[in-house]
Amino acid sequence: MLPLSLLKTAQGHPVLVELKNGETYNGHLVLCDTWMNIHMREVICTSKDADKFYRMPEAYIRGNTIKYIRVPEEVMEKVKEESTRRDDRRPAAGRGRGRRHYHKGNMCGFWA
């Protein structure tokens, strides 16, 4: 399971984001880009010491400041189901060039 596909599936769901500086942000994930920058709505920010709480209508978190993200279990199950469906649709063989063999007498050659 890839982190970006997990976050794309988590859009619209509640998530908890902890930053490297110790602050936590609880809210609904609106958008996530390829650098893992996150846009959230209805956010409650908790200070590092958990002594201050801030309510914000929205927040934008830069991806390189994130320590970890917690998503609901239902999102994890949804991603697993999507990946198994995607694997079922893939063809079993014939996806590459491979090698062709030909034999003529004692000679053996390969076509690339």
pLDDT (tens digit per residue) in 20-64:
999 999 999 999 998 999 999 999 999 999 899 999 999 999 999
* 6-10, 12-16, 57-61: range with lowest mean pLDDT: 6-10
Long-range contacts of 51-56 (CB under 8 A, 24+ apart): 56/27
Q: What is the pLDDT of residue 110?
A: 37
What are the Cα distances from residue 64, in Å, to 12, 55, 58? 22, 23, 19
Asked if 66 and 20 touch (Cβ cutoff 8 Å), the reply is yes
Q: What is the pLDDT of residue 112?
A: 39
**Tokens read off for 86:** 């995607």
Residues paired with 38 in a beta bridge:
32, 61
Most confident of 16-20, 69-73, 96-100: 16-20
Q: What is the pLDDT of residue 7?
A: 86
Kindly report, residue by residue over 74-109, the tens digit of the pLDDT.
Answer: 888 888 887 777 766 666 555 656 565 555 554 443
pTM for this entry: 0.71
